[in-house]
Amino acid sequence: MRHVVLGTAVGRAEGPEKVTGAARYAGDHAPAGCAHAWPVAATVPRGRVTAVDAAAALALPGVLAVLTPHNAPRLGPSDDPTLQVLQDAGVPHRGWYVALAVAETPEAARAAASAVVVTYEAAGHDVGFRADHPGAYTPEEANGGHPAHREHGDPDAALAAAAVRVDCSYAVAPLHNHPMEPHAATALWDEAGGHLTVYDSSQGSGPVRAALASLFGLPEDRVTVVSEHVGGGFGCKGTPRPHVVLAVMAARHTGRPVTLALPRRHLPAVVGHRAPTLHRVRLGARSDGTLTALTHEVTTHTSRVREFVEQAAVPGRVMYAVPDSRTTHRVVALDVPTPSWMRAPGEAPGMYALESAMDELADALGIDPVELRVRNEPATEPDSGRPFSSRHLVECLREGADRFGWASLRTPRREGTVLCGTGVAAATYPVLISPSTARAHALADGRFHVEVNATDIGTGARTVLAQVAADALGVPLDAVTVAVGHTGLPSASLAGGSSGTGSWGWAVHDACAALTARMAGRHGPLPGGGLSASADTAGSAGQKSPYSRHAFGAHFADVRVDTVTGEVRVARLLGVFAAGRILNPVTARSQFVGAMVMGVGMALTEHSSVDPVHGDFAESDLASYHVPVHADVPDIEAHWIDEHDKHLNPMGSKGIGEIGIVGTAAAIGNAFRHATGRRLRSLPLTPDRVLDVLA
Amino acid sequence: MKPFAYVRAAGLDEAVAAHARHPGARYLGGGTNLVDLMKLGVESPTALVDISRLPLDGVEELPSGGLRIGAMTRNSDVAAHPAVRARHPVLSQALLAGASGQLRNMATTGGNLLQRTRCSYFQDVSKPCNKREPGTGCGARDGLHRDHAVLGQSERCIATHPSDMAVALAALDADIELYGGDGARTVPAAEFHRLPGDRPEQDTVLRAGEIVTAIVLPAPGRGAVSLYRKARDRASYAFALASVAAVLELDAGRVRRVTLAFGGLAHRPWRATAAETLLVGAEPTPDALRRAVEAELAPARPLRDNGYKVALAANLAVDVLGALAARADGRPRIP
């Protein structure tokens, strides 16, 4: 009998553990004799540390040590210079760590950290980001390995010749990931100091192990990193972060296990942010709506520590059939914290700008915005010319319009002092895949156990991998257990770029298929130790596909604008996605809906403000950094179309963790324009800006 | 950690005496703001005198038709009290517009009045703030001040008072009952909080060691209707960008009595006496309302990034007074 488990709605395997508090997160691990660390953040926007006086801190009860740039262990090399903490006196931005207090309790560590007296030589700083900053330059690459600059034909001539043109500038504010669980790590060396074990809140224990091995001069097999449960990441736990380096340093320095749980207020400066982006988008079209020219010019900031370029012009290389185009990035290095990955890096801000501009073009042409997008559907990927492995954007737009009642909602309405309008935007996100390994065991008792160093950051990965395994083995789901989140398991890629399920699932599928084949060739009971099979997808998943592979989607928003207060609220949000085969409707829906909620935040409430005088982000807690609360979250619907794509992986799935945020902000912004007749080109749409544009 | 004494007071006099015994002591109510400030290092009390168990809890109906609300009554209980909801809906609405359900369940009435500003410079001990550390300067003036004051601010301080409840109390002509070493006294709610002047460290007229014991609401006026409205960056759990509390009584289509207070604009709830004076005896037409409100806001001196608050406050006040006028008139309320 064939058990159908893939594609069925299954709740999270670890749900009971999480609900009862049995699940152990990185900071929950308390090895015997565990001490606690608290970092000291720089209080000047730029400069250097001239002295650290730890005497008062060390005199406090329970204080074990204060690490400073003078006495901290020297580190080996790392790809990421933000991990080179306490190595020199430089302060590249406010909030950079300049010392670390270690004590018997978290309270004592915090008190010690605040008693450390740091003296600085302050230097002039520049945190003023603007498009015409003289320091802006075109980098070689944007994030994700994308070329910074691409050009086809003669976009300037095509624009000049176009029957209809739009030329618009958009701004997206800095944003922070702020997962529910702040970054934390517990580090312990074995008695001989030869083996390091670290519990870390990370999206990938493998990269953490590699970084720690290099930084502390150890072979990787003497480092174990465990990330069994992670309370959200959204990209800011995608690479190793300074907290884990500091925890290991403190453990080496004191000879004690050490837990370091970052306070929420430190997160804005040390674990990355989505850099602000300024966009200029120009579109040229014939009067029937056919695009003839597209330019998307992005300017963003990075820190002086590391170049990170939000790849926000990249979606223009994928979305629409345009013969003449230019997509390009410029970046300016400022004395700001280092930006990094945040859910749908590139696509989220880039599609806000591109899809807002498409709406402006639809207005200028007098063509329905759904129709305008349909008319510009490309036959092959515009930038590369490669065929799409599957592309059902038009189907998403059509089905979304149908479900939303788009045609009947195209007249803006007024309800008293409230203006109501609707908007649409498209979404795209690439299919990313990385080689991984996995091992499957048939146990003597008839059950199966699958091992893969995947990371479940709350997405339901553990659950879906069990479904993949049960499907490949042809057994019921409850016959399968899955172990993830430990570097002792077969190595696998990190949870990022919506690549996890496809990458890990491929290896799990192959291991289970190999095990099934081995078992099929056997007769009689299994040996006492059971049977095992392994898989490595380096040869399959690692190959470059001849296809352009992307998920697509369409977002529809129904928005209310209060003309008295300038408050914008979303009444209804609907998304339709074409993302290959949906492997678990329960966990998939929570990814789509969760990302759409994050998109509501990007559109309406979330922003981080750089203090021009002090150089830091002012919003440092969840009272001032406004993620949407329940009252902001409307009726949200997520749907998907049946998409069969043979060019992906054995499951036929595309990543679904990020695409839900991609078109949300543009759909809301376009609905604002529909409701009010005014266009607001800066996010978020807060009352101050709204009142200004309505005045 | 920083050690402090903890004293659980059995009575008011004992609490006042314990406070006097520990220079640098703080009274502890629900702790929703004080404990946060202790974690931030903004407050480092030598002792916490816990008054949350004093018999200052509950809403008492007075023979005059007024209400006395004990200072330890939780915000959620005040908001839900039938007499408050029936007689002073503006107070219930203001409380429910503040914080979150969890915080309202903990926060006390007295503590709500005494909460400190949420100015980010006040809360960050690594930055200058005259309110937290007199003489260090105001970081917000040249820094980020989108949320800051446009009325009554001083060179020293541009912070706003964060309470929604206090705005309603100012409009309700409530009295604050206090008790301290010199005995009991009463202060009008609208005069309880101060403007910053050159002493921004002093939020209120409370004397050292004094305890807020109760809030007394007068009986509602004949035909009085009231309303609270708040504009904010997200739909819940956000402080007011601006807010308005108003109580209106009409007589033959003209204003017999009106009280109007703004939140989010100043270092204290801003009682709009100039607007009130202009409106008494007038017909509450949209033009008359706007003229009065604009006269009140004319002295506003916004900074680089908070000019929107003036227009926002005017919009709110005209809208709220218009809605109240329609209701007080017996006409159906425009939704």
CB spacing of B231 vs A687 below 8 angstroms: yes
Give the model's confidence band at B333: pLDDT under 50 very low, under 70 low, under 90 confident, else very high. Answer: very low
Picking from A114, A605, A618, the nearest residue to B144 by CB comes out as A618
The 10 Å Cβ neighbour count of residue A159 is 20
Distances (CA, A) of A183 to A166, A658, B226: 44, 21, 47
A:B CB pairs within 8 Å: 95
Residues B155 and B135: beta-carbon distance below 8 Å:
no
Architecture of domain B1-54: 2-Layer Sandwich (3.30)
Give the model's confidence band at A236: pLDDT under 50 very low, under 70 low, under 90 confident, else very high. Answer: very high
A334-351, pLDDT tens digit by residue? Answer: 999 999 999 999 999 999
Given this model, what pLDDT does residue B1 score? 65
Per DSSP, the three-state class of A208 is helix
Picking from B143, B231, B316, the nearest residue to A614 by CB comes out as B143
Measuring CA to CA, which residue among A58, A109, A84, A13 is closest to residue A482? Answer: A13
| Strand A413-415 to B47-50 pairing | unpaired
**Average pLDDT, stretch A225-236?**
98
Residues A584 and A467: beta-carbon distance below 8 Å:
yes
Residues A246 and A257: beta-carbon distance below 8 Å:
no
Question: A640 pairs with which residues across the strands?
Answer: A577
Given this model, what pLDDT does residue A523 score? 84
Measuring CA to CA, which residue among A343, A349, A357 is closest to residue A329? Answer: A349
A120-174, pLDDT tens digit by residue? Answer: 999 999 999 999 999 999 999 999 999 999 999 999 999 999 999 999 999 999 9
A106-122, pLDDT tens digit by residue? Answer: 999 999 999 999 999 99
Given this model, what pLDDT does residue A525 score? 84
Q: Which residue has the tokens 């916490």?
A: B48
- Whether the pLDDT of residue A2 is over 70: the answer is no
Measuring CA to CA, which residue among A458, A583, A487, A449 is closest to residue A17? Answer: A458
Residues B263 and B161: beta-carbon distance below 8 Å:
yes
DSSP annotation of A234: T
DSSP annotation of B79: H
Task: Report the catalytic residues of A.
Answer: 658
ipTM field = 0.96
Domains of chain A: 32-124+180-232+237-270 (3.30.365.10), 141-176+273-431+546-694 (3.30.365.10), 434-539 (3.30.365.10)
State the Cα–Cα distance between residues A566 and A117, nearest whole angstrom.
45
Given this model, what pLDDT does residue A521 score? 83
Measured in residues, chain A has a length of: 695
Burial of B81 (0-12, 13-18, 19+ CB in 10 A): buried
Given this model, what pLDDT does residue B235 score? 97
Q: A49 vs chain B: nearest CA distance in angstroms?
A: 16
Does B225-328 carry CATH code 3.40.50.300? Answer: no
Q: Using CA coordinates, name the residue in chain A closest to B312.
A: A565
Residues 160-189 of B with CB under 8 A from A: none
Burial of A610 (0-12, 13-18, 19+ CB in 10 A): buried
- Whether the pLDDT of residue B335 is over 70: the answer is no
What would you measure as the largest C-alpha separation in chain B, in angstroms?
65
* Token pair in block for residue B281: 């005896």
- Whether the pLDDT of residue B332 is over 70: the answer is no
- Whether the pLDDT of residue A552 is over 50: the answer is yes
- Whether the pLDDT of residue B278 is over 60: the answer is yes
Give the model's confidence band at B331: pLDDT under 50 very low, under 70 low, under 90 confident, else very high. Answer: low
Residues of chain A in contact with residue B120, where contact means CB-CB under 8 angstroms, are 618-620, 624
Q: What is the mean pLDDT of chain A?
A: 97
Q: Where are the domains of chain B?
A: 1-54, 225-328
CB spacing of B315 vs A564 below 8 angstroms: yes
State the Cα–Cα distance between residues A292 and A288, nearest whole angstrom.
11
